[in-house]
Structure 1
Amino acid sequence: MTDVGVEGDTSTGDGDGDPSGDGDGDPTGDGDGDPGDGDGDGDGDGDGDGDGDGDGDGDGDGDGDVCGDAIIGASEDCEGDDLNGTTCVDLGYVGGELVCGGDCSFDESGCYDAVCGDGMKAGGEACDMADFGDDTCASLGYDGGELACGDDCVTDESGCYYAECGNDMVEGPEQCDGADLGGLTCADVGFAGGELGCDVDACTFNVDSCTSCGNDMIDDPEVCDGADLGGETCETQGFDGGELGCADGCGEYDTSNCQMDQDAWGDDFEGGGQMKPEWVLTGNVNWFASMTMPHAGAYTGENGDIGNSQQSHMAVTLNFQNAGSVTFWRRVSTETNWDYLRFFIDDVEQGEWSGVIPWTEQTYPVAAGQHTLRWSYIKDGSVSSNDDTVWIDDITTVGGVLP
């Protein structure tokens, strides 16, 4: 920093300053006064100031810029916190914090330059490790890919690409490319099944071979789809009952679980007092055909007249080609909660009843296969009340036939 304003030398001007400091300058001012450079020995203020055309400036008190006066002088970079708007970047650094030194010059020790490899893109770096700023392959004009950063912090674009339809590789905006479907199937693009293809010219999906069958909704030309049968039933298809289904392909109904009643076994006990020969009667006393209050017709099935701790059973074995059902009417007049009418399918109890119950219809599903249906009256060890009797009538099955 240059000191300006030391005591002026008036010896070069026409007005010679008095060494005691009281001399007056030449009022004509023709002299070539040199302001500020002289080493005048005068003790005074050295106010040898010519009023003429000379360059001598005799107004100064001999005072220069003062560091710390909060005013940035011509010879100062800064004053305290006032950096005159200057930053580290203005001085050629990447960043950091510029401060003002005690001598009012910049203290650049807090500024820093870019360091390749520190993971922070700065200065002239195109990238730094994984920091690419806002750059991507797409922003650089490619269709896709992944940028890499070299050890010299220069972007490596070799992982970027331009999409090329027909190279069997899905790139950029392509949905597919040849055999490369991106791992997707017809189901992934909204269909129930089929084979997804790719348009080789546009690299977009070709769904011509996709199918809607299987989405539980009838689409042309389907006649059914899963549970959607369009309101059709076994009965509308000419059967007497059963469960209609939809065949694979959705082009026709599956009637394998539909049945015709005339093929199904049943018993209304109207055999003139005789039990059908297929009945297997066991227990202490056999069931028989009775005329006591039948549900319909003249006869009904009635348990044998058993005593306490005794049982009476009647059973029949039937084949069900498909899942079906059994329906029967029951009437009960027994000791409540002790003597029971029980119904079994393959020795697995399906229901039990006691007390006084009028004729009531009962239906149970039967799985496909051969099954034994059994009705039993089972008494406990004491007490008989009400009629101490149970009755079964009008048994029908859906799909059950004799073996």
Structure 2
Amino acid sequence: MQEDFLHYIWQHKKINGFHLKTTQYESLEILSVGKHNINSGPDFFNAQLKIGDQLWAGNVEIHIKSSDWFVHNHETDKAYDNVILHVVWEHDTEIFRKNNSIIPTLELKQYIDKDVLQNYNKLFASKNKWINCETDFADVDSFILNNWLERIYFERLERKSNTIEKLLEVSKNNWEAVLFKMLTKNFGLKVNGDSFFSLANSIDYSIVRKLQTNNQALESLIFGQAGLLEEDIQEPYFLELKKEYLFLKQKFSLSNTQVTPIQFFRLRPQNFPTIRLSQLASLYHEQHNLFSKIIEIKNINDYYKLFSVSTSEFWKTHYTFQKVSKLTQKKIAKSFVDLLLINTIIPIKFRYAKHINEDINDLIINLLQHIPSEKNSIVTAFNNLKQVSKSALQSQALIQLKTEYCDKNKCLQCAVGNALIIK
């Protein structure tokens, strides 16, 4: 038995029986359970109860045993002076107010439906499952599940947008600068995401804006700050970039000492940092005022057009500076734009909409429903239990579900867990 379960029972009135009685055999009517308190102090504030013929307004404290009151030293804490009801699983001792009157106690174990208790115990019984509800996940009503996934997707989006908010504070609300940092980070994918982000942080966005009309200068800036122009290579294009970068470094007092080293290891050639950084430079060369454009666009196909850029000419026949390869255009693929939409564009749009008090939730849902479900171990495992992920909306929500609810045993705060407990 966990105290959280008793909180859940009280908060949602999952109490079996209309004729409740306290341990002192007084009738008890719950008019309002009060507001759940997740901080220090009593568990529920401002409850309204009728005990016997007396109306009460005050706080409710919940424990497994009545004696836990003393274990937690509540008898010496003034914050508990206004407790009007002690809710426990097992009543093993009386609790008194400072005036020696008994605090009424409700013993829950005689009022909880046996099926609810059995379902709860089953949910938390095994420690070896991938998720607690894996044997019953497929039985959850699809309407309940889909509504829950939509809700927790926006929880995940809120968390992502909080990162954006912090970047806005640093940049003094320069949305274009924040977009550049977020895009650069996500051009690096998982392997180089942090490295690319440190690269973006090493460049004042005003420099990017000044160089946008000159793609080679922009590429030299990005490659130089990434530390990719420091080797002794005699390739002509490498030498041109290096010369340009040394000029820019002096002109803008640049430093890349805080940039995390870029990795090539275990990357497919199309994801080599050289290719992704060249595509990033081309994007900013071809699309000025990029932030305004992504805010205005509402159709996913227009995003594919906006990001339909290739590398500079040199990289069409190279993956590294030192080796010639077969001629390919190396355009940003739709699947890569999908990742940018999920991880950068939609979070930026969401945060900006909140900034201007605009509700774009329906637009976001529509965009995500046009993006295929991501493929990763979490999504695959859920789909093996029940085919649930059909778009990026569900795949992102499933990541949130696994990491923020399943892994933390927060089944009582999860609509799936609730549905399985109260069948």
Assess same fold via TM > 0.5.
no
- 1 or 2 for the larger relative contact order (CA 8 Å, sep ≥6)? 2
Task: Judging by fraction of residues, say which structure has more strand.
Answer: 1
TM-score norm. by structure 1 comes to 0.18
Give the greater-gyration-radius structure (CA).
1
Q: What is the TM-score normalised by the length of structure 2?
A: 0.17
